[in-house]
Amino acid sequence: MFIIHNGKIVTEEKILEGYAVVVEGETIQEIIPESDIYLKRDANLIDAKGGYISPGFIDIHSDYIESIVSPRPTSMMDMDISLREAEKILISHGITTIFHSLSFYREDVVTHKPMRYPKNVQRLVDAINRTHHRMHLIRHRLHARFELDNIDQVDSLIENIKNDKIHLLSFMDHTPGQGQYRDLEVFRDTLKGYRNLTDEEVNVIIAERKSREQMTMEKISEVATFAIDHGIAVASHDDDNVKRLELVKSFGTTISEFPITLEVAKKARELGLHTIVGAPNVLLGGSHSGNLSAAAAISCQCADILCSDYYPAALLHAIFELHEKYGNDLHGMFMMVTLNPAKAVRLDHELGSIKPGKKADILIIERMDDGYPMLTTTMVNGAVMTTTNYRTK
């Protein structure tokens, strides 16, 4: 038995002081007044030293694993090693449940990452599935990001859903001129960042991309329904207009990832969709693609989930920056990386909050004199997985 005390407990309702968290086995047993700690004589005490006692972070959109598996354009590392090395980094940032966001793209002449070749994506899908049966630090889950023109891989997607290898599904459309690339100059700059291309070569690629066959609305609806029937939440990606939102909601979609404008984000919330924005966007002061500011969406109460996207450290820092720089309620910011994502992916019955009966995924976050957040203890399933001791000498 563990008792975590002398801290500020982030509960579902508020940040609670003067209380302690009792953990027994894999679960949270109770929250008790600190004055009652002496009654638990056999417990191991963990001193939070005045820091925040938070639920573990749940990151439902992160493609960070791609940079670990393929650190250079022509390098592919062992996938099992990559997952084990990646989780050391993720847990150091408070992420106790990760949804690795793998892109199911159609392979073409501008595929710049070997990790995104279909055969390698499937290898990583299988490697993630193996983590459930091996020793591991955190929970690994799979978020399949399926591109609408990848029609040859639909059967493979269905098979992975049948085999319980996918835990979140999103549909993407990166056709130039809409969504993330509604500004064609952004698409041009992105392509040129991947390869040394002339303007004429870029024009040919844009024309080819725009002419591609895509999944029909009927097929999208069929696949979405199949996923939902298997207990998987479905998301849309880069929603850029209200009509598209209404269409994707008709497919059973419950999550809107990275809405492009504030108008669309507002409509997504009105429709009852969980709305995701990126924590790196907060730290950068805006979107790297010139789209919606995450901080603006949160301040307008048009977003309820933060994800790390491509930078795991961003979750912890964004919580405090959104509170201290933008004036948002600190408790609410913690919910954006804990309970809200748990609800979105249907895990809130066991994860996402410090509540009796739930899994004991718990963080202790202290603050340096300059306000820098220090993650000093991480617990997963009631076991202390990491402790970090900062020093001055």
Indicate which CATH number applies to the domain containing 316.
3.20.20.140
Residues 218 and 93 in one domain: yes
Report, as an integer, the average pLDDT of 353-360.
98
| Residue 128, domain member (yes or no) | yes
Residues 332 and 377 in one domain: no
Report, as an integer, the average pLDDT of 189-215.
61
Tell if the pTM clears 0.85, that is, is over it: yes
Residues 46 and 156 in one domain: no
- Token representation of residue 198: 């002339």
pLDDT of residue 207: 61
Q: Is 327 helix (H, G, I), strand (E, B) or coil?
A: coil
Residues 83 and 112 in one domain: yes
Domain count, the chain: 2
**Segments of the chain assigned E as strands:** 2-5, 8-10, 15-16, 19-24, 27-33, 44-47, 52-55, 57-62, 95-104, 139-147, 168-172, 233-237, 255-257, 274-278, 305-307, 362-367, 373-380, 383-387
* Residue 385: pLDDT band with limits 50, 70, 90: very high
- Where is average pLDDT lowest: 74-88, 117-131, 278-292? 278-292
| Residue 365, domain member (yes or no) | yes
Residues 30 and 46 in one domain: yes
Q: Which domain holds residue 297?
A: 57-173+214-344
pLDDT of residue 175: 54
Q: How many CB atoms lie within 10 A of CB 69?
A: 25
Residues 112 and 228 in one domain: yes
